[in-house]
Amino acid sequence: MIGIDPGLAATGVAVLEYDRSGACRALYIGTIHPPRRLHSAEKLRHLCHEIQAVIQAHKPACLAVEETFYHKNVKSALALGQARGAALLAAAECGLEVIELSPKTVKLAAVGTGAAAKEQVAAMITVLLRLPEQPASQDACDAAAVALAALHRRALPEGVSR
């Protein structure tokens, strides 16, 4: 499962899987930073290509991303939507299924409450994935939380509410 926390300046990416014991483990956690000098269209191409490179390296079956939500700042919402579109394009071009999750669902999976603060998500991701240290960026932590929530959702038996 690849989880994405999209942004034009920084996009978090995490690839998680269940190991043989049934524990969730991280194969990759990182952040994509398109060069600042690039124009928006070039940043989007960069994001798409970098996400595709992670997909090619780790061969996940599915890409997970948070559903669109509303921002008070229209400019921020537009940039988020564009970066999200680059992630969706990368998934489509690689033939991956896409799972969209609400921010509340992601926080609930990582922390146990849909109203968790970003710091709580980061701390729990570090514990749940048994990482030696917290990921370097909040974007990477958020991407891991998205992947974790999607893994849990896919693991539910048929007929159980998703």
- Any domain includes 161: no
What local confidence, expressed as pLDDT, does residue 114 receive?
Answer: 87
19 is catalytic: no
Q: Using a cut of 0.75, tell me whether the model's pTM lies above it.
A: yes
What local confidence, expressed as pLDDT, does residue 160 receive?
Answer: 47
Which of 5, 17, 97, 158 does the annotation list as catalytic? Answer: 5
DSSP symbol at 67: P
- Any domain includes 14: yes
- Any domain includes 103: yes
Per-residue pLDDT reduced to its tens digit, 15-51:
999 989 988 999 999 999 999 999 999 999 999 999 9
Token pair for 61: 């079956």
What local confidence, expressed as pLDDT, does residue 72 receive?
Answer: 72
- What percentage of the chain has pLDDT greater than the value 90? 75
Which of 42, 66, 133, 142 does the annotation list as catalytic? Answer: 66
- Overall number of domains in the chain: 1
142 is catalytic: no
d(CA 151, CA 1): 7
Q: Minimal CA–CA distance to 121: which of 108, 102, 136?
A: 108
Diameter over CA atoms, the chain: 49
31, 137 in Cβ contact below 8 A? yes
- Any domain includes 162: no
Q: Minimal CA–CA distance to 31: which of 64, 57, 4, 68?
A: 4
Looking up residue 30, the CATH number of its domain turns out to be 3.30.420.10
Which of 42, 97, 133, 139 does the annotation list as catalytic? Answer: 139
Domain range holding 47?
Answer: 2-155
What local confidence, expressed as pLDDT, does residue 146 receive?
Answer: 97
More confident position, 70 or 92: 92
66 is catalytic: yes
